[in-house]
Amino acid sequence: MTASPRAIELVNVAARAADSKQAEDLVALDVSGPLPLTDIFLLATGRNERNVVAIAGEIEDKMNEIGVKTLRREGRQEGRWILLDFGDIVVHVFHEEDRLYYSLERLWKDCPSVELALTVSESAE
């Protein structure tokens, strides 16, 4: 099974939002095979707690602007690992240390990556 076109569209909106707040090491993984509840994980890293919160906030704002509501949010108060569940995609925004410690890329290494389009194409404008 592969990620739906809608999930790919949403992960690119989220990735561009994260990138606009200087998120680092953006990685999208197609987890639709092993996980029936979501299609894509987006992983992003913030430099500190404040940056992690800003990245997550911008992602939520941009997703809400296109009519996608946050189904679940965890970790915002601590600012170390914020999980945002949008249904088709789940976004994980990590502090650098927590990203290394939990190493989700290693846990999901058998899942293919999804190419991210971090710039808006001229035809989409």
Which CATH number does the domain 5-119 belong to among 4.10.95.10, 1.10.150.120, 3.10.20.30, 3.30.460.10? 3.30.460.10
Q: What is the pLDDT of residue 125?
A: 40
d(CA 40, CA 34): 11
**Given a cut of 90, is residue 41 above it in pLDDT?**
yes
Alpha helix locations (H) across 21-103? 49-65, 96-102
Between 119 and 68, residue with greater pLDDT: 68
**Given a cut of 60, is residue 123 above it in pLDDT?**
no
Q: What is the pLDDT of residue 120?
A: 55
Mean of pLDDT values over 3-21 = 96
The band of 1, judged by pLDDT with boundaries at 50, 70 and 90, is low
